[in-house]
Structure 1
């Protein structure tokens, strides 16, 4: 491609508000197989489709995670959830990724934890299909349904690490999100209810039925919401601590089954 053609693409992306227009242009050019494909991809990005949905993948924990249109795009901050979970997962750990979206968390943990047994679940059919693309190679199982409802009974009391990136944006704040998120990702993957914690509370309420002795529940949340997330843990029989990363602007509440 000529320098002038690439410059035109950069200009279009910049005019559309893409902060890293030069980087995005290079990624789109590399991904396109024909000039027609490139033109279509640039147009999708200009009208606001998330870059990862246009490319068909997102970089996450050093991996390329398949991303389909209409599926929640994994955020870099969620890598902190993965690192915290990996530190608690021994060889052969049974790992469950709830509200899995693309299955990025389970996929990344499978690449880190030797011999991990991977399970994931999501309510959205498109997310489930996408997660299966990502997890099949690692031998993972993906289930479609509401939280724990679709899980097989044999997982009861066997989960060593339950990692959750449930929606935690308060309903009234959805309209303040960037357009590429609120218009192109499913609302069910964003909306956490009045205070953003509806799904987190439901996860915590049933976690001990699924966790193995010594198992852990980890939920991504915000710094502001973390005390209420931790309260939901303790109310349901889990000890709770808060971990955070200033670099990634990430907060995770970590719970363990209380021992008596």
Structure 2
């Protein structure tokens, strides 16, 4: 299968590192014009340079701003009024015991992980529907199905994304716009790597040992018995953004290494 998205404009939120950067790079390789977003111009510029280095002839632009706020969303929409592909990847996580999570954290996680995608989808989906073609994705998580006790606030937002994704797919029925959720499992992203690296330094052990302990203790149902790579997750996202994925909508596509014990 060869995926070609030339003349399509794709926005990938939170795309200066990790899964978002891998998705942006993968879409650029298909010929799409990719809009990279991040909180600071310096991070956006670094990501643009990294993609340009890896993808010869990549068509790129960048917008800096905090998409976890209404003001940030409005700024992006002003800079990029229309898009054919929207990947709602922006997200934050933080392990914290349930009884230690204050109201402010619940609201902050919902604003960043859920409302960022709601605001952008509300705008861009209307233009997609009028043009009769579009692709919207929400990067959820297996944590939205199996809520982790150590991150209930995170799991809550990932479940909410599943509801929004399916509801929006129903709203856009028959328009030529597909809406799907992607559920990565434990993935070796920059954020996860930094988190595991800190644990390794504190315990005086290797990061590989921390990863193995995490898999054995917190995700023992995994079938691949390792963390996924960001590229493995991005491959699914690039396919769902393609012309070939036109019959896949309203779905929750797992790239979780088999963590979720389900046959559907």
Same fold by TM-score, threshold 0.5 exceeded? no
Higher RCO (CA < 8 A, seq sep 6+):
2
Bigger helix fraction? 2
Instruction: Please identify the structure whose Cα radius of gyration is greater.
Output: 1
Bigger strand fraction? 1
**TM-score normalized by structure 2?**
0.44
**TM-score normalized by structure 1?**
0.44
